[in-house]
Structure 1
Amino acid sequence: MAHFPLRAMNTSMRCALAFAAACVPPGVHAHVLTAAERSAPPVLRWTFEPWVVALLVVSLGLYAAGYRRLRARSRRGRGIRTRQLCAFVAGWLALVAALNSPLDALSAALFSAHMVQHELMMIVAAPLLVLGRPLAVWLWAFPPAARHAIAAAVRTPVLNGLWRALCAPTVAWLLHAAALWAWHMPRFFEAALASAGIHTLQHTSFLLSALLFWWVVFGEGARRDQSGYAMLSLFTTMVHTGALGALLTLAPGLWYPAYIEPTTALGFDPLQDQQLGGLVMWVPGGLAYLIAALLTGARWLMHRAPVTLMPNTLAARRDTTS
């Protein structure tokens, strides 16, 4: 057990070779495998889940239409909107890589690939999508009448109150933490591996809770009075996700027996694969939260109003008399 990082690194190189050999032609989405399919090596290919592809295409189309309308409406703020566009497109591409690339097929056989998929959604795609400010841009994709109707509906007391409750720093933090810890419990994780519906629920809860979490950090947390909450949320999330990754890495036995057959069929050791998956959550995941916390702290310090030191009245009088 003392040499698990080295073994995990060797496993990562073998995983990279297996991923590089992935086929490119499209196929039917096959993340959840039957018992017979688990005993054979998976066919790596770009997956195609119609409703996932449809949502991705619609989200990108609405953003492009809204961005074009906003750009034509005014020249002011074009630099900011361009940076937001780049952030949204990068986050969108990260979602495509997580949900439709050969990584999705490989994650059915390797726990480590599954962890990479989850981290892509939660610490790459989610913050970039939030920085893209899609809600306002999507709204401008609609005609004026529809735009006003949607805005009026969103401003209703019920929806407005629900949004404020979900975006409270404590609530967003708790929802994200609960999703992470609950879905990594062996019973729930293996249920997601065995059922396409439960697996969809797992990924949806990961992505939505991550979007709320990063909205508190980069959305509401962008205000000076919320920066302290944002940094606290990031540091505490780094701690508890690191603890979960450490538990997976240092566990003496397998947490998810469903991976034994497909991982062995690829020639990998299931325990080493679990250790590598834990390291993915522990090190790169923790580093992402740390970097975000440092950037938030730097932004907070740079935007603080300078403190003006008022001279002592007595000292001023002495200077005057002298």
Structure 2
Amino acid sequence: MGPNLSWPFSPPVIVAVAAIGGIYVRRWRRVRAQAAARRAADAPVWRLCCFAGSLLCVLIALCSPLDSLAEQLFSMHMLQHVLLLDLAPILAILGFTRVLLRPLTRAVRKLEGRAGLLAAPAFAVLLYVAVVWAWHVPAAYDQALRRPAVHVLEHASFLLAGSLYWWHLLSPIRARLRLPGLGPVVYMAATKLFVGALGMGLAFAPKALYPYYVHHARVWGLSAGDDQAVAGLIMAVEQSLVMGTAVVVLFIAALTESEREQQRRERYETV
């Protein structure tokens, strides 16, 4: 059987992406026009590119041949989850500055206050790990592949968990419950190790665990077991790469902030 490279047509996804993209571009252009002197900081082009990249990740995951291939190959389904769980949320949050988010800042802080412990970084870690592990239970995974409504719920939960998780690390708004000192490193390590362990478990499992793929016609000469091993390695390697990259970026950001703080102190001392 050959690979299914058809382009799925999903009007709800396309309409949602178009609407969100339109709202963002309108806000970005307004900030760009109002703050011409400071536009490099308030609405730089690279932020726009990040947000556009986030929407592109969603479209690739849900409205490209990748979605069709995900029904045939576990490894392609894993790539789909990587896009929804990590890449799309990361790029979306990087697309914002404090000024771009200003119309929503008060609402976000009010929601954070009302959420209580649900707004804590620890909850984001638990949700992220729980969502990934729960959906990779064979029974749940098979249900998602066989029932469209469950599949939509799966993808929505990945987007939600990923967005909340990365918000605590990358949000331009100063959070009430912050990650002090080495908190971001511990936050990431605790999450990525648990999820990476799942990936390694899938990669080295003695047999294929998902009946849907076991009984599905094979493509590209991959057995169900080999396909599962590739999927597990994709998960494990992606988690390692994302964690390593994020730790480096956060370390550089911490050094930059430390230098700025030192410069502020020196200015105050000379006054």
TM-score (normalizing by structure 2): 0.85
- Superimposed CA distance per residue, residues 23-67 of structure 1 (whole angstroms, 9 cap, x where no aligned partner): xxxxxxxxxxxxxxxxx6563222111111111110101111111
Identity of aligned residues (%): 33
The Cα RMSD (Å) is 2.7
Of the three residues 145, 153, 173, the one matched with 1:193 is: 145
1:155–1:124 Cα change, 3 Å: closer
- Superimposed CA distance per residue, residues 207-261 of structure 1 (whole angstroms, 9 cap, x where no aligned partner): 1110111110111697886453222111222211110000000100111011123
Match of 1:303 in 2: 257
Q: What stretches of structure 2 of length at least 5 have no aligned partner?
A: 264-271
Match of 1:105 in 2: 68
Letter in 1 for 2:55: W
Q: How does 1:195-234 map to 2 (within 5 A)?
A: 195-219=147-171, 226=180, 228-234=182-188
**Given the alignment of the two structures, is residue 130 of structure 1 paired with residue 93 of structure 2, yes or no?**
yes
Match of 1:64 in 2: 25
Q: What stretches of structure 1 of length at least 5 have no aligned partner?
A: 1-39, 141-149, 308-322
**Given the alignment of the two structures, is residue 55 of structure 1 paired with residue 7 of structure 2, yes or no?**
no
1:192–1:252 Cα change, 3 Å: same
Tell whether the 8 Å contact from 1:131 to 1:218 is kept in structure 2 after alignment: yes
Match of 2:209 in 1: 255
Tell whether the 8 Å contact from 1:234 to 1:290 is kept in structure 2 after alignment: no
Match of 1:77, SS state, is helix
Match of 2:242 in 1: 288
Q: In structure 2, how many angstroms separate the alpha carbons of the residues matched to 1:244 and 1:267? A: 25
Q: In structure 1, how many angstroms separate the alpha carbons of the residues matched to 2:151 and 2:74? A: 14
Segments ≥4 residues shifted beyond 3 Å: 40-43, 134-140, 162-167, 220-227
Tell whether the 8 Å contact from 2:98 to 2:173 is kept in structure 1 after alignment: no
**Given the alignment of the two structures, is residue 279 of structure 1 paired with residue 242 of structure 2, yes or no?**
no
Q: How does 1:129-168 map to 2 (within 5 A)?
A: 129-133=92-96, 137=100, 154=107, 159-163=111-115, 165-168=117-120
- Superimposed CA distance per residue, residues 179-201 of structure 1 (whole angstroms, 9 cap, x where no aligned partner): 11111111111110111011101
Q: In structure 2, how many angstroms separate the alpha carbons of the residues matched to 1:117 and 1:295? A: 25
Q: In structure 1, how many angstroms separate the alpha carbons of the residues matched to 2:66 and 2:10? A: 14
Offset at 1:174?
1.0
Number of residues of Structure 1 aligned to a counterpart in Structure 2? 257
1:281–1:180 Cα change, 3 Å: same
Of the three residues 39, 42, 50, the one matched with 1:87 is: 50
Letter in 1 for 2:249: L
